[in-house]
Structure 1
Amino acid sequence: MASIGSKVVVAAAQAARNFGKALDSMGASMEVAKYTERLVPSTRIVSANNVAPSISESATFIAPSANLVGDVALGANSSVWYGATVRGDGNKVTIGSKSNIGDRAVVHIAKIQGDYPTSIGDNVTVKPGAIIHAATLKDFSVVGEGAQVLDGSIVGSNCIIQAGAVVSPKTTVPDGEVWGGAPAKMVRKVTKEDIESIVSLSEETAELAALHAEECSKTYEQVMQDEEDLADSLARGEDYWKKDQTQEDDVLGQGAPGRIFDNSLTNPEEGLKAKE
């Protein structure tokens, strides 16, 4: 009996699947616009080991193609740019305020070969393609394009790691130094201009991130409206009165352009509103 019952269940399941496929095929043939079902949804924010990233409500920008995984804390006014990956899937990653992780950069931790979290302070810039692996970057530091800061290393405050440099594991970069080369060594001390550029870089990136956040948050309808407004503005002459102007010039006693016809003579509804 058990064998017959299981066969009935299997047959019913197969019939249900076939019926579902038939319905799906029929629905697809009736569609006006082709619909493609995406098997992998957005993975911008991902839990790992039952721990989800902690993101400040004041974080400026996380790009649609960026990934934050596991035990990651992102501070206020900080940003993670296009294609960057921040993985806390075995240890903790902490990113302070007004810091930025550049395009395609990788920030990771170590758990098997040693036990190192990653800590990134305030006003830190990690430039595109850089790798920060189980290391500490203190406040006001810059890691150049394609540079690597490896396991157990500590980069002090007001430091610059030049593009392509490789800071070897368990290396300490003292405060206020510029390092370069592979393996990286001290090149010189930072100057007053260097420190000013570090500060301005973090501030300018935070401002730029706000613009990208605004654009990336737009709906499809808003994007279409922007395109229509742009096409309209390009087709108009220089003397065209733009709809977003607030100047209240009076033309022939009839009011501002665009409002000439909003009076009780040509638009009786306006008169009724005035009486109310």
Structure 2
Amino acid sequence: MRDTFYPPRGGHGGCGRMHDGVAEGRGAVSLRPGLVAYKGIVPTLGQDVYIAPGAWVVGDVHIGDRTSIWFNTVVRGDVHFIRIGSDTNIQDNVTLHVTGKRFPLLIGNGVTVGHQAVVHGCVVEDDCLIGMGAIVLDGARIGKGSLVAAGAVVSPGTEVPPGSVVMGIPAEVKKTLTEEEKERIRETAEHYVKLARRYRHDEAMSRDRPIRGFLR
């Protein structure tokens, strides 16, 4: 996996430079809505990250450029760290968490994590799709360009080869993705980059002037 997951951090407790609404400087920090410090460690964001209203990002988390965190999702880097790459989308009601001293969470570039999935203390390599309601558990590794089907449960420690489709409870490899199917996964990630850009634009516009409602 690329070095996306280990970005330079400006230190803990509010030291160093951060993007997108997190103040610079030593001492107390001013956090944008949705970001929460834990034990003096604050989340850091790349450029053009979108965090939807109602989402929470806690503690030792870094989110890469153009990644989006959607409504009511929780990204909780309290007892270990979380690193999320660029151009990734974490959809509504997802839970991302870790296991203390054992399993951080690493999610690559161009990844789609579908609604209500739980991704816990594992590695998800670049260009994967984690389906709606799927669960990926501690120590699992999802190889690059793979698809975890909706509702699947990937058992602890499972190694999924690159380009695989896994389904079921417990999840098992069922087939290898075609190049066309891999391209559709990449297109989904690209769609969410554009969608998040639109949300960011409209939220900025609504702060500048009221939005007129329409009455039928």
Does the pair score TM above 0.5?
Answer: yes
Let me know the Cα RMSD of the aligned residues.
Answer: 1.7
- Which residue does the alignment assign to 2:38? 48
The residue type paired with residue 45 of structure 1 is: L
Task: Indicate whether 1:103 and 2:69 are aligned.
Answer: no
Q: Matches of 2:193 and 2:169 in 1, distance apart?
A: 30
Q: Residue 138 of structure 2: SS of its match in structure 1?
A: coil
Aligned residues: 185
The residue type paired with residue 199 of structure 1 is: R
Moved over 4 A (4+): none
Q: Residue 217 of structure 1: SS of its match in structure 2?
A: helix
- Which residue does the alignment assign to 1:203? 190
- Which residue does the alignment assign to 1:177? 164
The residue type paired with residue 149 of structure 2 is: Q
Task: Indicate whether 1:62 and 2:51 are aligned.
Answer: yes
Q: Residue 164 of structure 1: SS of its match in structure 2?
A: coil
Q: Which has the higher contact order (CA 8 A, sep 6+)?
A: 2
Q: Matches of 2:207 and 2:140 in 1, distance apart?
A: 45
Q: Matches of 1:163 and 1:201 in 2, distance apart?
A: 15
Q: Which runs of 5+ in 2 are unaligned?
A: 1-31
Q: Deviations over 1:208-240 (max 9, x none)?
A: 11111222234456233xx16x67xx9xxxxxx
Q: Deviations over 1:22-62 (max 9, x none)?
A: xxxxxxxxxxxxxxxxxxxx861000111000011332x10
Identity of aligned residues (%): 34
Gap change, CA 1:207 and 1:220, over 3 Å in 2: closer
Q: Deviations over 1:78-116 (max 9, x none)?
A: 0000010100001110000000101000100101xx611
By how many angstroms is 1:195 displaced?
A: 0.7
Gap change, CA 1:115 and 1:210, over 3 Å in 2: same
Q: Is the 8 A contact 2:84 2:109 kept in 1?
A: yes
Q: Residue 223 of structure 1: SS of its match in structure 2?
A: coil
**TM-score, structure 2 normalization:** 0.81
Q: Residue 212 of structure 1: SS of its match in structure 2?
A: helix
- Which residue does the alignment assign to 1:166? 153
Q: Is the 8 A contact 2:60 2:82 kept in 1?
A: yes
The residue type paired with residue 75 of structure 2 is: V
Q: Matches of 1:93 and 1:69 in 2, distance apart?
A: 10
- Which residue does the alignment assign to 2:126? 139
The residue type paired with residue 79 of structure 1 is: S
Instruction: Work out which of the two has the higher radius of gyration on C-alpha atoms and give 1 or 2.
Output: 1
Q: Is the 8 A contact 1:88 1:108 kept in 2?
A: yes
The residue type paired with residue 49 of structure 1 is: K
Q: Is the 8 A contact 1:154 1:170 kept in 2?
A: yes
Q: Which structure's residues are more often helix, by fraction? A: 1
Task: Indicate whether 1:87 and 2:79 are aligned.
Answer: no
- Which residue does the alignment assign to 1:193? 180
1:118-129 alignment to 2 at 5 Å?
Answer: 118-129=105-116
Q: Is the 8 A contact 2:38 2:58 kept in 1?
A: yes
Q: Residue 91 of structure 1: SS of its match in structure 2?
A: strand
Q: Is the 8 A contact 2:122 2:139 kept in 1?
A: yes
Gap change, CA 1:196 and 1:72, over 3 Å in 2: same
**TM-score, structure 1 normalization:** 0.64
By how many angstroms is 1:157 displaced?
A: 0.2
The residue type paired with residue 37 of structure 2 is: S
